[in-house]
A and B are shown apart, each in its own frame.
Chain A
């Protein structure tokens, strides 16, 4: 998995590409979130458009990231979910936990 990180409208955007799965992608996601927080980010948007596969560990990392950012008074939102990522979040009823947006622009203007 490759992680693209950039800032747009004051929001730190994380854009993982590939698999967010146990042992590799999940660790990369965790590190990216921690680095963003350490750099002072309050608002984080995870753009999932380039994610091909996510497993329970990847889902667990998204949940951890969400609770960590929220507990620090920030916001973590998701956008551009491929249908299979949407489905897997739906199945475990997490789609209603996260703030999910169709597009990155829509998500950025919601912060």
Chain B
């Protein structure tokens, strides 16, 4: 039975980690626990967990360039019937339009370039914003309550073209 949480001003989770890949597990465990309390089932939490791992990995690797002195901030809050997950780094930013489509034949066998694609696939909405003082904020949204009959497993959804 899913319950619809009320919008809360206070974040469910706010966590700050040094830019080390070993810290990604910690973020995933904390976010998974919070999403479980918010009513997401195990299947959905697995895929959101992958999206969160990709987001934090990008923030550590491409944003903060693995500088352990620079933190990655993760916040999870509820906005209406959605969980909103924000991942912030302190890197120079990038142009999402320059990220290639991993499904195109020339990219299919490349070892990288699939992270953002997976995030878009597993979340309902993914958006980047760039702070003028430096730093990237990634905002991802996931609906907490689904209409009856709507698939919860994103791998079962029809393939969509990535626009970025």
| A residues whose Cβ falls under 8 Å from a Cβ of B | 19, 21-24, 53, 55-57, 59-61, 63-64, 66-67, 84, 87-88, 90-94, 97
Contact = CB atoms under 8 A, between A and B. Distances in A.
Contacts of A66: 109
Nearest to B21: A23
Interface residues of B, number: 28
A95 to B, nearest CB: 11
A22 B114 contact: no
A63 B54 contact: no
B54 A84 contact: no
Interface string B19-60: 011101100000000000000000000100110011001000
Given A56-B54, A92-B103, A21 B112 contact: no
Contacts of B115: 55-56
Contact of A88 (B20, B103, B110, B118): B118
Interface in B132-163: 153-155, 159
Interface of B: 20-22, 24-25, 46, 49-50, 53-54, 57, 61, 102-103, 108-112, 114-115, 117-118, 121, 153-155, 159
Nearest to B155: A87
Nearest to B156: A87
6 contacts: A23-B57, A60-B111, A60-B112, A87-B153, A91-B154, A92-B114
Contacts, number: 72
Nearest to B20: A23
Given A55-B53, A90-B155, A22 B24 contact: yes
Given A23-B22, A59-B114, A91 B121 contact: yes
A67 B21 contact: no
A53 B48 CA distance: 12
A61 B114 CA distance: 12
A88 B50 contact: yes
B109 A67 contact: yes
B102 A92 contact: yes
Contacts of B49: 53
Contacts of B159: 91
Nearest to B102: A92
A84 B45 CA distance: 12
Contacts of A61: 111
A98 to B, nearest CB: 11
